[in-house]
A and B are shown apart, each in its own frame.
Chain A
C-alpha cells in the first residue's frame, strides 16, 4: 500500500491511497484503502489522512475519519490524534499498520505500530525527511 497527503498553497488538503492488498487474499476481498473514511479521508476542517496496514481493523475503527474528528471536534494536535488511533485504538484491537497526515496549518504527522514504514515528508522552507525503520 502507498499513500500521499498534501497541503497546497491555497490551503487545501487532500489524501490519496493505492494498494494491491495482501498476499494470497481471498479474491474479491477489499481492505481499507479504497474506503473513504477508513483508509483515506480529507477535510479542510481538520486534516488529510492516508493509512496502510491490516485493512479490516482500519475499516472497523474508521481510522482516517476519526483522526480528522479528533482534530476538528476535540482540538487534538495532529500528532496526538494519529498516535491515539494507531498506538492506542488500533493496537488495542490487535491491528497493525501506520498512518500519515497533514493539516491546513502545515502540521505533518505519522504514526505506526509495525517495525517499519517507508515514509517521507517535505514542506515549504523545511528539509526533507525520509525514514524506513521505527
Chain B
C-alpha cells in the first residue's frame, strides 16, 4: 500500500509578515491546517486522491479568505467568473471549467466534466448549465460577493482610470467578520 500524502496551497503573492495582523496570520494557518486534515481524513480511510482533492478544495472555495468561490476577485465589469480544473494521474482523465458564475463549487463542476461528459473543458454559461444538469449546487452570483474584494476592485479601477461598474443590487450590505480577515495578495489584471 502506498504512503498517502497531500499538499495544499491557498494562493501566492505579496504576503509578508508586515501585511498580516496576528489574527489574520492565525486565521490563514488554521484554515490551511483544517484543509490538509480534511483531505488527509479521506486518504487515511483509503479514499481516492480525487475525493481528497475535491473535499479540501471545497473548503477553500467556501472560505472568503481565498480567491476562489466565495470571496473571489471581480472582473473589471463587476462580475465574478470562476475557473477550475482537476486531473487523475492514474487514468490521465481531466476536467475543467472556465467563466462559471452560478456554480457554488467550480472544482466539482470540473470533476463532473471529467466523469460525466466526453469533454475536458467547458466554458461560460454552458459550463454552468452542465453543472446544473449534474445536480451540482447552483447559487446566485451574489453568493460569491464580498465587500473586501469589491473595494479592491474599485481601488484598482480608480488606479487604472477605468469606469467603476454599478455595485450589484443584491450585494450583502455589510461585511462579515470572516471576510474582514481576508488579505489582498495583490493579484491585478
Contact = CB atoms under 8 A, between A and B. Distances in A.
Query: Is A bound to B?
Result: yes
A44 B11 CA distance: 25
**Chain B facing A: main interface SS:** mixed
B142 interface: no
Contacts of A114: 12-15
Interface string B37-64: 1011001101111101110110011000
B89 A13 contact: yes
Given A117-B15, A122-B6, A19 B46 contact: no
A87 interface: no
B112 interface: no
Contacts of B185: 116
Contact of A41 (B5, B67, B87, B160): B87
A25 B72 CA distance: 12
B15 to A, nearest CB: 3
Contacts of A7: 2-6, 43, 49
B7 A8 contact: no
Given A34-B96, A117-B9, A22 B49 contact: no
Contacts of B137: none
- The interface size bin for chain A is 35 or more
A108 B57 contact: no
Interface in A17-44: 17-31, 33-36, 39-44
**Chain A facing B: main interface SS:** strand
Nearest to A109: B7
B99 A102 contact: no
Interface stretch (B78-86, B128-136, B168-176): B78-86
A66 interface: no
A25 to B, nearest CB: 3
Interface of B: 1-17, 20, 25, 28-29, 32-33, 35-37, 39-40, 43-44, 46-50, 52-54, 56-57, 60-61, 66-69, 71-77, 79-90, 92, 94, 96-99, 106-107, 110-111, 120-121, 123, 144, 149, 152-153, 156-157, 160, 162, 184-185, 187-189
